[in-house]
Amino acid sequence: MLKLTEDALHLQCRAANKNQAIEIAAKALEQSGYVKPGFINGMLAREKSVSTYIGAGIAFPHCAKENLDQVIKTGYQVFQFPNGVSWGAGKVVFVVVAVAATENEHIPLLADIANLLGDEVKTTLLANAKTKQEFIEQFEKA
């Protein structure tokens, strides 16, 4: 079960587009010690090949396989974009879960996140949360 901490949560984020949102996410992963500088390039490469939009206003950016050497240790950061970010093809993202994972460690993490955030009502509540505690409470509700 994924346990979200206040340190891994960023509220009231703003980005003009998905590349800027991914850049914000990559910087946070780097500052948290999960990835090396330059991880952003792997995230953008992954996004270019296959969208990381998973539905219900949620995106799950991570790096391309070719860039796994940029990962120091597995971890994640969660970002709230209350005004939404265009993810292309008419999709708008309100919650970004950025992941740094070695090999296939992101697969169980993605499954946990998909289970936690599987509906648009929940995403809307998360997008409108005013405090980290409120966001975490909504995030962890089954």
φ/ψ of residue 61, rounded to 5: -65, 135
CA distance 39 to 64: 10
Active site residue ranges = 62
What DSSP character marks residue 133?
A: H
Question: Residue 119, SS3?
Answer: coil
Phi and psi of 83, rounded to 5°? Answer: -90, -5
> Which amino acid is residue 36, in one-letter code?
K
How many angstroms separate the CA atoms of 21 and 51, rounded? 13
What region does 136 belong to: left with phi over 0, alpha with psi -120 to 50, or beta?
Answer: alpha
